[in-house]
């Protein structure tokens, strides 16, 4: 396990650029759009985390965001999350049914607590799966349970300590909703009491004009509706910020598995996961091949003529991750998928030959 402070590093990246709060405010507004908004926000967070997993210390993009790409990434992640949640729902239903058949109240209470804790931890594992699908840009990569288990089991402590991020976000959002809800209710309470009085009066009097009742209802709506929208927006701002921090923290955690050395989605992880070097550091040179010892037959057999210099073919160079480049607009460019990066490197070697 690496001693890395994923949350603090993610917070530094989030707040590094001037005007860093603008994307959060825009994303919170997008959350009001049904279906499309949440998918775009999820895809935006995964695209940022994908850069972090590749070893790019970049802040969230404020300009030139490709909405279509975010929607595709969000949809891909949604399918992965849906499959994981369906499987988890089936598993918990079976276990709950077995415990309920035993009719042991203590086990039922203990199971409910265990499921609540497991839901929090599983949400992090599911985000790992969604980010893996974003890196490969394939839904199947997020459903490779064996590979995901390898990553989680390698550094479970480092991953699960990120559970504090959604917990803190939930506490903040819950506190905002509770305090602001009580404040709104206190403002609307006089109209609510008047409404109750008018309803009782109309029920006791036949043929009365309900205009006063409608006026009171309109007054309550004018007080409650704008406040509810404002409260919901503020809550979404904190929720989006927490989601960005959590997703990028998982990307920083995934950096230790050397994403650039990955092969196809079904290939095993590198034997010895190592963190990617910082962006500013120079590329590490490939280790030189060790000389091969001569066989025993070659050492005892005398040569009738002077030995010619041995010309062994150069060892094949292992595919290295493509170097990151910078586009004309200043955007950091990384390979789309690890498999494509390795294939491009092999193709370049063939052309040179």
| Cβ atoms within 10 Å of 157's Cβ, excluding its own | 7
Report which of residues 2 and 218 the model is more confident about: 218
pLDDT digits (tens, 9 = 90+) for 176-188: 989 988 888 888 8
Residue 75: predicted pLDDT: 96
| Cβ atoms within 10 Å of 215's Cβ, excluding its own | 14
Averaged confidence pLDDT in the chain:
79
CB distance 11 to 244 below 8 Å: no
Can you tell me the distance from the alpha carbon of 308 to that of 59, in angstroms, rounded to the nearest whole number? Answer: 58
Report which of residues 132 and 112 the model is more confident about: 132
| Cβ atoms within 10 Å of 317's Cβ, excluding its own | 11
Q: What is the mean pLDDT of residues 81-93?
A: 95
Residue 193: predicted pLDDT: 83
Distances (CA, A) of 92 to 41, 97, 153: 29, 8, 21
Q: How many CA atoms lie within 13 A of 311 on its CB side?
A: 1
Can you tell me the distance from the alpha carbon of 154 to that of 353, in angstroms, rounded to the nearest whole number? Answer: 39
pLDDT digits (tens, 9 = 90+) for 126-159: 999 999 999 999 999 999 999 999 999 999 999 9
Residue 214: predicted pLDDT: 79
DSSP 265-322: TTSPPPSS--PPPPTTSPPPPPPPPPPPPPPHHHHHSPPSSPPPPP-PPPPPPPP-PP
Closest residue by Cα to residue 319 from 290, 289, 339: 339
Q: What is the mean pLDDT of residues 36-53?
A: 95
Residue with tokens 């498999």: 339
pLDDT digits (tens, 9 = 90+) for 205-258: 665 567 777 787 888 888 888 888 999 999 999 999 999 999 999 999 999 898
Residue 279: predicted pLDDT: 41
pLDDT band at 4 (very low <50, low <70, confident <90, very high): low
CB distance 130 to 45 below 8 Å: no
pLDDT band at 106 (very low <50, low <70, confident <90, very high): confident
């Amino acid at each position: 396990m690496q001693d890395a402070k994923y949350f603090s590093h993610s917070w530094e990246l989030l707040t590094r650029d001037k005007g860093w709060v603008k994307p959060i405010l825009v994303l919170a507004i997008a959350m009001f759009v049904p279906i499309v908004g949440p998918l775009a926000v999820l895809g935006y967070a995964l695209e940022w985390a994908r850069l972090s997993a590749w070893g790019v210390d970049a802040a969230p993009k404020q300009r030139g965001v490709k909405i279509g790409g975010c929607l595709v990434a969000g949809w891909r992640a949604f399918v992965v999350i849906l499959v994981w949640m369906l499987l988890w729902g089936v598993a918990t239903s079976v276990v709950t049914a077995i415990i309920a058949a035993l009719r042991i109240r203590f086990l039922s209470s203990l199971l409910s607590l265990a499921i609540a804790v497991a839901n929090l931890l599983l949400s992090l594992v599911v985000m790992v799966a969604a980010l893996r699908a974003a890196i490969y840009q394939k839904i199947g990569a997020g459903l490779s349970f064996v590979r995901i288990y390898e990553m989680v089991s390698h550094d479970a402590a480092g991953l699960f300590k990120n559970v504090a991020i959604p917990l803190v976000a939930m506490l903040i959002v819950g506190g905002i909703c509770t305090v602001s809800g009580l404040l709104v209710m206190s403002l609307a309470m006089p109209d609510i009491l008047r409404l109750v009085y008018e309803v009782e009066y109309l029920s006791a009097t036949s043929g009365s004009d309900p205009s006063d009742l409608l006026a009171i209802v309109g007054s309550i709506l004018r007080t409650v509706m704008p406040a509810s929208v404002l409260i919901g927006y503020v809550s979404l701002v904190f929720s989006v910020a927490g989601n960005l921090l959590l997703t990028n923290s998982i990307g920083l955690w995934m950096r230790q598995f050397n994403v650039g050395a990955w092969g196809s989605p079904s290939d095993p992880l590198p034997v010895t996961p190592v963190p990617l070097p910082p962006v500013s550091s120079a590329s590490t040179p490939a280790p030189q091949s060790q000389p091969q010892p001569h066989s025993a037959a070659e050492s005892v057999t005398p040569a009738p003529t002077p030995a010619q210099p041995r010309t062994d073919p150069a060892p094949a160079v292992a595919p290295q991750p493509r170097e990151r480049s910078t586009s004309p607009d200043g955007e950091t460019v990384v390979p789309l998928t690890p498999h494509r990066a390795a294939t491009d490197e092999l193709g370049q070697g063939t052309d040179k030959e």
